[in-house]
Structure 1
Amino acid sequence: MKPPVILVTGSTRGIGAALAEALGARGAAVIRHGRSAAPGVVGADLAAPAAAEMLWEDALALGEGRIDVLVNNAGLFAANPIEASDIAWLDGWEETLRINLTAAAQLSRLAVKHWQARGVPGRIVHVASRAAYRGDSPAHWHYAAAKGGMIAMHKTIARGYAAQGILSFAVTPGFTDTAMAGDYLASRGGTGLLADIPLGRVATPEEIAVIGVFCALDAPPSMTGAVIDANGASFVR
């Protein structure tokens, strides 16, 4: 059998890089994506409305017309305080929603249509956040809203296309040891925030990658629609 072709967005660092490496170790043909092109990396700035479609077409070409799994991991985590000017606040909101949610929706739509046209099954893995359920800081309304929207989208995809063999899974990490989380920890008081995590530490990208690989390759079809938390018990549902 041919190895599965998997597009992992935002896979040049952090969780995405760990996911791409772990999937490759399992024999998958991984297509990496970053904001800028680099050797072995398809470049696409998802803040641009046409970028998602261009990324999909470039990935399809690399996959010789086939993509079996989409991992929506690309994200932006930038503070947007309510004290900012009206224009700055709206710009921050729209940029975060576009990268974290709208681009993921565009890619998910293209993936579903691709699998429907070929009459084959497919999987989507959404890397969301515990913020989808517990919210985030006062400077991150937009981030929490985007991740909440991603979870709602994921559940809708799961319910709408399971009968066609198109499955959807979501992972909701808490703080993870990435550059984005490091900036947030520093802005919110540093290690004092660890007191909110019963496990006593943040997750590693490799831990989240284990869950992502399971969803992409191993999770049974009956799990479609599932949301898997990974936050050190800082939020339990």
Structure 2
Amino acid sequence: MSYILVTGSSRGIGKAARESLEARGLKIIGHATQDGGDDTIAADFRDPMAAQFLWNEALARSGGDIIAVVNNAGLFEANSLDSSDIEWLDRWEDTLRINLTAAAQISRFAVRHWQGRLAGKSGERGRLVHVASRAAYRGDSPAHWHYAAAKGGMVAMHKTIARAYGAEGILSFAVTPGFTDTSMAGDYLASRGGAGLLADIPLGRVATPEEIASIITYCALDAPSSMTGAVIDANGASFVR
């Protein structure tokens, strides 16, 4: 039985992605900051060693048969320009570590693992799916420099991986949602005027976690290999490229 590792799988997009992938018959190894279980590993990405612990534990539980990784774990908290210097820096570093550095660590471990595996009949060795954000392209609020920077870095990292390892059968995809109906986005929507913010979304509503999960599932299982390097927008036309 093949496994997929999904980070940040305890709620929101990650939980929906887990359920969508399980519905396709895949075994999922989940991740949460706290409260791991038989099929969920606890790892706090603020700790520089947490990503390596998560990967090693996931590899052991799967018997080495991880076919895809979904980098979904994220932190979205305000960082006021007027906060103290140390508070501003702490929030910047926490956000970059959780949203980007941990994803980079896990991606590196996965690429190295897949490089040592035989390719399947399709020539593939493994797939990475990165959950970024429209903020990677259009930026974010004045209190979210760090979040936009992390997601921009994730997209650049994804493109680099796709170009570097496609010939080895290691594929990379990215999804860039806009606002999604999760608790994380809900707090932000409320702080920015709630329903009034929807005027910026031509579709007239935010995405559901299930919609983003369906894109993640497609990338992890169904997208043709020639799509490696693609970034799929899902923001209700609030940002178009």
TM-score, with length taken from structure 2: 0.96
Name the count of aligned residue pairs: 235
List structure 1 runs of 4+ shifted beyond 6 angstroms. Answer: none
SS at match of 2:86: helix
- Report whether the alignment pairs 1:51 with 2:50: yes
Name the residue aligned to 1:94: 93
Per the alignment, in what secondary structure is the counterpart of residue 118 of structure 1? Answer: coil
TM-superposition CA deviations, 1:101-144 (whole Å, max 9, x none): 00000000000000012233100000000000000000000000
Report the CA distance between 1:65 and its aligned residue.
1.7
What is the CA-CA distance between 1:37 and the residue it aligns to?
Answer: 2.8
**1:75-107 CA deviation, whole Å, 9 max, x = no partner?**
000000110011110110000000000000000
Aligned-pair RMSD on alpha carbons?
0.7
Match of 1:19 in 2: 17
Give 3-state SS (helix, strand or coil) of 1:7's partner: strand
Amino acid at match of 2:36: A
Separation (CA, whole Å) in 2 of partners of 1:10 and 1:79? 19
Q: How does 1:84-233 map to 2 (within 5 A)?
A: 84-120=83-119, 121-233=125-237
Cα offset, 1:57, TM superposition: 0.6
Take 2:191 and 2:55, find their aligned partners in 1: how far apart are those partners? 35
Whether the aligned pair in 2 keeps the contact of 1:37 and 1:44 (CA below 8 Å) is: no
Deviates further, 183-192 or 138-147: 183-192
Return the alpha-carbon distance in structure 1 between the equivalents of residues 213 and 81 of structure 2.
Answer: 34
| 2-structure distance, mates of 1:11, 1:92 | 22
Residue aligned with 2:175, SS: strand
Write the distance in 2 (CA, Å) between the matches of 1:228 and 1:38: 30
- For residues 39-73 of structure 1, the C-alpha deviation after alignment (integer angstroms, 9 at most, x for no partner) is 33110001100000000011011101221100000
Distance 2:118 2:53 in 1: 23
Task: Measure, in 2, the Cα distance between the counterparts of 1:37 and 1:5.
Answer: 20
Q: Where in structure 2 are there 5+ consecutive unaligned residues?
A: 120-124
- Find the counterpart in structure 2 of residue 41 from structure 1: 40
- Percent identity between matched residues is 72
Moved more, 187-196 or 95-104: 187-196
**How many Å separate the matches in 1 of 2:161 and 2:3?**
20
Query: 1:165-214 CA deviation, whole Å, 9 max, x = no partner?
Result: 00000000000000110010011111110000000000000000000000
Larger displacement relative to structure 2 (127-136 or 64-73): 64-73
TM-score by length of 1: 0.98
Name the residue aligned to 2:240. 236
Distance 1:137 1:97 in 2: 16
